[in-house]
Amino acid sequence: MARNAHPEVTERRILEAARELFTEKGYEKTSIQNIVDRLGNLSKGAIYHHFTSKEAILDKLNDTDWDYSQAARDRIMARTDLNGLEKMRELFKVTIDNKDHRKLNEVTIPLLDDPTTLASSLNFWAAELPKHWLPIIEEGMRDGSIPTEYPQEAAELISLLANYWLLTRFCPPTRAELRHRIQCLATMLNAINVPVFDDELIRQTCDFYAQLNAQNPEQTPHD
């Protein structure tokens, strides 16, 4: 058998096909055979050569999404035309506008019904994700745009509440209640002098979560 000269191309094709199927059918209802059928010219063996399981494919998609977020954060951090607060808002907007990120969230949110997955996610949100936000908050402290005395706590509030409390999988609100909840988060951050949520970002964040919920009809907020 000839050796695959471009394994990264094959891996990317597998990931793209899996992402499409996970979004269309749901992760649980997608099989490796479905991915084989979607690709058309790869066998199960070829897929297992690159990924040991369907779970490994999803893990890679999540890793790729996280790498994109980190790279976006680094690009924003390198900008000299924005202060720390403006960089925070820009990072929120980049995340919200990323269609692949939203689609991956649509796939993974139902998996949070599994206690093990939920525990792992909570640990990531509490221990790792704050590190994503903290450098920008600290820059804002240095340039005066974020005059907080609670940089670590602010990073933790954003990481935990935006990824648990605002996910209506756990406590489905109406759209108006969802917006009110985001406004409450904004008020909490304002109280510790991290005024990242202006009216426009509140609207955009509400739209983002409402779109996520639309993919889970049993959880969809009503107006």
pLDDT at 214: 63
Render the burial of 38-71: b for 16+ CB within 10 Å, e for the rest.
Answer: bbeebeeeebeebbeebeebbebbeeebeeebee
- Which CATH number fits the domain that encloses residue 7? 1.10.10.60
64 and 160 housed in the same domain: yes
pLDDT at 1: 40
In this structure, is the dihedral angle defined by the CA atoms of residues 19, 24, 27 and 33, taken in order, positive or negative? negative
How far is residue 138's CA from residue 89's CA, in Å, rounded to a whole number? 14
In this prediction the pTM is 0.84
**Type of residue found at 214:** A
| Structural domain of 161 | 58-219
Residue bearing tokens 């269309």: 24
97 and 159 housed in the same domain: yes
98 and 34 housed in the same domain: no
* Alpha-carbon radius of gyration of the chain: 19
25 and 129 housed in the same domain: no
Query: How many domains is the chain built from?
Result: 2
Asked if 137 and 131 touch (Cβ cutoff 8 Å), the reply is no
DSSP-derived secondary structure letter, 83: -
Can you state the angle between helices 199-214 and 99-108, rounded to 10 degrees? 50
91 and 31 housed in the same domain: no
Domain boundary, last residue among 15, 32, 51: 51
Question: What count of other Cβ atoms lies within 10 Å of the Cβ of residue 193?
Answer: 15
42 and 73 housed in the same domain: no
pLDDT at 165: 86
69 and 44 housed in the same domain: no
Please give the average pLDDT of every successive group of 10 residues along the chain, which has 223 residues.
66 94 93 95 92 95 94 96 98 92 89 92 94 97 98 96 82 81 96 97 92 59 39
How far is residue 132's CA from residue 135's CA, in Å, rounded to a whole number? 7
196 and 108 housed in the same domain: yes
43 and 110 housed in the same domain: no
